[in-house]
Amino acid sequence: MDELQRSQAHWPLLLDQLQESLDYRFIHLHWLEEALTHRSYGQPHNERFEFLGDAVLNLLIAQQLFERFPKLDEGSLSRMRASLVRESSLADIGKSLDLGTYVRVGEGERRNQAQARASLLADTFEACLGAIFHDGGMPSAKAFIATRFNAHLDALDPMTLLKDPKTQLQEQLQHHKLPIPHYSVVAQCGQAHAQEFEVCCAVDALDLRALGRGRSKRQAEQAAAAKVLDAWRLSHHIK
């Protein structure tokens, strides 16, 4: 957002436009302003609202999945929730709301690359949800989430989502006729009964790599594969 948009003359208009997009009118408008303020811009910033929004989002999505899939166990529901609330999904919703136009950031933050941009959009979305919940309570937050997530919930394919990240990554690579990923242990620490592994997952054909940690080599590989999948989704818009 440029200096003109940030001026006192334009800021109220921008807030009004965003409330139209959110389909919610704030009783306490300064909470929306706080939700739109990155810590690089000044105080009060939006990290407290981001914390609140993250908790509300996870609760509401968990409730929806619990009601929609009565036969799935806790682990399956958790994996499905993770697929819905991952950074790339929230960034897409933030982009659809054009949150990048409204969020107030410092000069250094504006120079960041696409990965940071996605994180900024996802965090701002959570902060806006937190502000809506704080301002209007759970009914308002639930209505807002329903508007933004019902299509995603309706399109869920449990058979695909319940595959572990390593399997999903390999299948996506095969679908795009790309070589399989390479996994390597880069660190191992701790006593024999409480070891922690750090594994690198690399997809050279895409110039993507990520580190994952876990109490076992397999767990660390899964964590690394999940990060590579998320990075691929952000940069190439795969599903």
What residue numbers bound the domain in which 230 lies? 165-236
How many other C-beta atoms can be found within 10 angstroms of the C-beta atom of residue 219? 15
Question: Per-residue confidence of the chain (239 residues) as pLDDT tens digits?
Answer: 544 445 556 888 999 999 999 999 999 999 999 999 999 888 899 999 999 999 999 999 999 999 999 988 898 898 889 889 988 889 989 999 999 989 998 876 665 554 458 889 999 999 999 999 999 999 999 999 999 998 888 888 777 666 788 998 998 899 999 999 999 999 998 887 778 999 999 999 999 999 999 999 999 999 999 899 888 887 765 65
Task: Please tell me whether residues 171 and 116 are part of one structural domain.
Answer: no
Domain boundary, last residue among 125, 155, 185 = 155
Domain assignment of residue 160, yes or no: no
**Residues pairing with 211 in the sheet:** 200
Catalytic site residues? 54, 126
Beta-carbon-side half-sphere exposure of residue 68 (alpha carbons within 13 Å): 18
In a domain? residue 103: yes
Residue 114 shares a structural domain with residue 176: no
CB atoms within 10 A of CB 157: 10
Q: Are residues 116 and 201 in the same domain?
A: no
* 9 and 107 co-located in one domain: yes
Total tally of structural domains belonging to the chain: 2
Per the document, the length of the chain is 239
* pTM for the structure as a whole: 0.70
Q: Pick from 120, 155, 190: which residue ends a domain?
A: 155
Check residue 162 and give its pLDDT.
67
As beta bridge partners, residue 184 has: 200
Last residue of a domain, one of 155, 188, 208: 155
